[in-house]
Chain A
């Protein structure tokens, strides 16, 4: 049971800044997922945590211990790697016990007992006498997990452990990891580039880009209230539509449409009262008109005929391409100089070239600063939980 605290953590490789001033608290027993594109510094952050890289600057604490400069073995963490990192010449059992045998801090009976327990938990008893070559990817990763849990470490560090598995197995292992965490309750930091994995596994999700943390939130909050364009476009598949608009008197204005902005909240969480949005959006330099980027998720846009309940404001767009996804039909549309994607009923008869009347969910609109990409308006109000407030205060 360990709380991990990162303070202003930096890592530079020659002139490349991989991790740029990360502040983060991983709370005791939490399953925290760090997600971001390749090269965003997520793996480096994890390796700094493990002690496999040395921090250029900043501090890493585990509970009250400052572990910033200590050797990996002093930290009592276990790591699970993408390529499993099983010793290829050892059996499953030897793989699991090798580390424990090497340190002399466990008796033989203790080791046997722990291996039996871990094997039971992970259902790998029949893999113990096989070598990795004779195991499938999923089995190997299970043995690797066994090696991690058998030492009863203070924290699990997982570096894309499911990325080498096929899609079906990945979903199965995802559920298994959730179960395992519920059972063991060990603080876990899980790194992935897969936003679906991040959303499904994480109690809290950290989105990183360019070596910096973009947002820390529970999965749904991340999805509903992205703090900037990067998060908005990274989380969610297909990605959020981004359309350049101007905001005038509480209305998002585009050449081809005008969308009134309902009551909501500003990017920093302040509520915007109905009827007075104009002032809230005011740009000191440009009076009551300001440029913005309107963000709407494809599933929040609909053909008007499918969703008459969403209100009377519609606009006309041209269908460019349709992609049947089975459970829905993804429609690529263009309106004026802008293009966007829209979710339609799976068996809608929409043809390329056709003009379609589009409606939207007024609860799910976002506005971003064109230059900085910061969100300054969400049409829904984020639920304020004490948990969230606490985290914001801590980090």
Chain B
């Protein structure tokens, strides 16, 4: 099979590959290379580019504000990944267990995923706005002071909530497929043995679903670092007092508010490295704990 050649001419193969290669080079590899190059320059609007070597990197290494941004991002990503996986897994389990109306529950859970991030952010702004929000009144009625325009941790929590909420649908789609793949006989054996529902989820389903969960951890990590820009931008703009200034927003501001293209490029290279290192660690760990069974 592997040696079977479908196309005999090299020209044919090249032509078929060309669109993919073209798109990859123009929109992926060239910008990446350019970003790396720019990170070695002092560059900005209307200024002549000046080669500065690793100075931008040294600047970031010494910047405590940047360190804080890295810490916030990593914490944010960890919470998004754990929160999304946990909530999605439990929702998936509930949907999986229900006999009637599974389709409707699925649609309602997946729905948020169909919203553009900016719309999702605005929806939550209306729900949780400190003075106008629909839910603000009820929350304050139980004695909690909603003040996330001024309170850093609260702002972080709100962005986190939106980020998790938005990503649940995507996770559930994969998880429900994986959970349905668990042989019915295993569920039935567990039922006959009197194994409780939660125990069945944790000890039977989750181990069998590990390849899918592993995939979702990776996707959610990438999402947490790169896909949550709109929430930060529209809800908090990185504030208050940089409490939600995650790396992706920070580098955007560096580039397009302060027009320090050189430093912004450096930050994007660092972000790339941070995520790459995390991926490697995750691959190592999950490879060990993943079950790829028969």
Contacts and interface: CB of A to CB of B under 8 A. Distances in A.
Given A88-B208, A89-B291, A98 B193 contact: yes
Nearest to B293: A88
Interface string A164-206: 0000000000000000000000000000000000000000000
Contacts of B196: 102
Nearest to B203: A98
Given A88-B291, A102-B199, A133-B293, A81 B189 contact: yes
B186 interface: yes
Contact of A50 (B190, B192, B199, B293): B192
Contacts of A103: 193-195
B195 A87 contact: no
Interface stretch (A71-79, A226-234, A235-243, A360-368): A71-79
A72 B191 contact: yes
A118 to B, nearest CB: 14
Could you say which of A81, A88, A99, A133 has the most chain B C-beta atoms within 10 Å of its C-beta? A88
B189 A102 contact: no
B256 to A, nearest CB: 48
Interface in B158-196: 183, 185-186, 188-196
A73 B193 contact: yes
A102 B194 CA distance: 7
Contacts, number: 70
A99 B293 contact: no
Interface in B252-294: 291, 293-294
A151 B204 contact: no
Contacts of A83: 183, 185
Nearest to B193: A99
A81 B185 contact: yes
Contacts of A79: 188-189, 192
A382 interface: no
Interface residues of A, number: 25
Contacts of B191: 51-52, 71-73
Nearest to A80: B189
B112 interface: no
B190 A99 contact: yes
A392 interface: no
A85 interface: yes
A381 B191 CA distance: 48
A77 B193 CA distance: 9
Nearest to B200: A102
16 contacts: A51-B191, A52-B191, A52-B192, A72-B191, A73-B194, A78-B192, A85-B183, A87-B186, A87-B204, A98-B195, A99-B190, A99-B192, A99-B195, A102-B195, A102-B199, A102-B203
Interface of A: 50-52, 71-73, 77-79, 81, 83-85, 87-89, 98-100, 102-103, 132-133, 147, 151
Given A73-B194, A88-B293, 12 more contacts: A50-B192, A52-B188, A79-B192, A81-B189, A87-B186, A87-B189, A98-B203, A99-B194, A99-B195, A102-B193, A102-B194, A102-B199
Interface of B: 183, 185-186, 188-196, 199, 203-204, 207-208, 291, 293-294
Q: Which 8 residue pairs spanning A and B have beta carbons closest together?
A: A99-B193, A73-B194, A85-B185, A88-B293, A102-B195, A89-B207, A81-B185, A89-B291
